[in-house]
Structure 1
Amino acid sequence: MILVFGKTGQVATELARLAPDAIFLGRDQADLSDPAACAKAIHSHTPDAVINAAAYTAVDRAEEDEALATVVNGDAPTAMAQACAALDIPLVHISTDYVFDGTGDAPWKPTDPVAPQNAYGRSKLTGEEGIRASGARAVILRTSWVFSAHGNNFVKTMLRLSETRDALSIVDDQIGGPTPARGIASACLTIAGALMAGQGRGTYHYAGTPATSWECFARETFGLAGRQVAVTGIPTADYPTPAKRPLNSRLDCSSLTADFGIPPPDWKAALAETVTELRT
């Protein structure tokens, strides 16, 4: 039995589709603002594996609420990992490209130095460090630009805006890999299976290919949805946000493919599926 932290988020929703027999804990059953409750849930259920698909994801709000973000993204995963280590239960934890400083143009490798530039990134790094220190049999899976037909994400925002706007200015100098939540869910289950079989541990990357900009991502979305929207590319400097965004979110996923046989997903194909699902 797999125990999943998260119930309504993008990845948790896809995990429920792929693994309906798993146990899913929502905030009412395991609030990540109470790390001890998360550890208690693991001790109570004694699952075969744990997947943490829950997080504080409000990147801009985290700038003013870093203490809570750190508890949810840092202390809670650490408590989960400590419980998993005590019971010898494998753990799969989802992290982010925001642990890097976003400079350069080379894809980030799992072994590259980390230097988060915003509160959200710092909170996620705290979780990574706590998991590694726990000694748990764990895989940390960093990903980026998550999208699906569920929850809040860039694709749904663009389609909503296109209903009332015929022109939009979209940032064109942030480059990354849009990643389908369904692919992340599938990867987490494959990794969990390998961990249960006694194989693998460490930090890996999983992100969509090919790398693109938010502007191009938006254009592809509008094209697939048949929306007539004039898109103008603008630099990040012209679209200030409370949290600093990385310009380079490219992730090198080669070690995940080599160790687990999981290739990076084709985000354009996944986007087409997402737009079709939203239509129906």
Structure 2
Amino acid sequence: MVRASPLVDAAPTRFDDAFVARVLEDALAHGARVYAIAGLQGSGKSTLAAQVAALARARGLRAAALSVDDFYLGRRERRRLARSVHPLLATRGPPGTHEVALACETLDALRAGRPARVPRFDKLADTRLPPSRWPRVGAADLLLFEGWFLKTPPQAPADLCEPLNPLERDEDPDGAWRRHCNQALGRDYPPLWARLDRLLFLRPPGFACVPEWRWQQERALQAARPRRTAMTRAQVGRFVQLFERVSRQALHALPGIADWTVALDARRRPLR
């Protein structure tokens, strides 16, 4: 068994026990070994995954929570991409900045009942921890796998032509970065999506709430580790723009792809 990593996103709220129980029951009713939770930045998906895993353990199940964020490429690998493809790839997050093969290998091992070391990414240090610090996870009856863009399909090439925010306009004027991310989304991630047995999508009221949610998240990370340097509000605002295109695509596409979509209000409370 493994408990939630202290390095995962810190949401400033918890979900009520009844909703957590409903999510666990949904996973068990459908025989999902890998139960995926998608939600935009700051939506509380890490918190929910940890709560569901804890409830599963309390009921005698072997459960673990993992995040797609822990499979980010380290700084060195992203810098190589920045030099060879586009400078924006130095920043973690968008499709093309994950080690997808490692994520697939990890899920395969855990599904097969083999022990595996699970990577951990330190967001304040902006790099993956060394393998010696990865927790070892044994056989699991239930894996909670969360991420902000799980199963999001790529956009049509024609939809990439116009920039949709100042970052794309000023730092990706020819569209090379967004084309690279879109191609990676369609080429590299489907094998990972195929390993997800069931998908819950936590749908926010809209993208407009994401910058504030992500700022709350950053403040929570800083409060938990006050000696470390976190992003400023302006830096968070720029950071969120890197995710906006795929986030809006997720908002558009995932309600028709996810097995279960739960609408959230602006305070992240599930709506009936």
TM-score (norm 2): 0.34
TM-score (norm 1): 0.33
Larger RCO (CA under 8 A, 6+ residues apart): 2
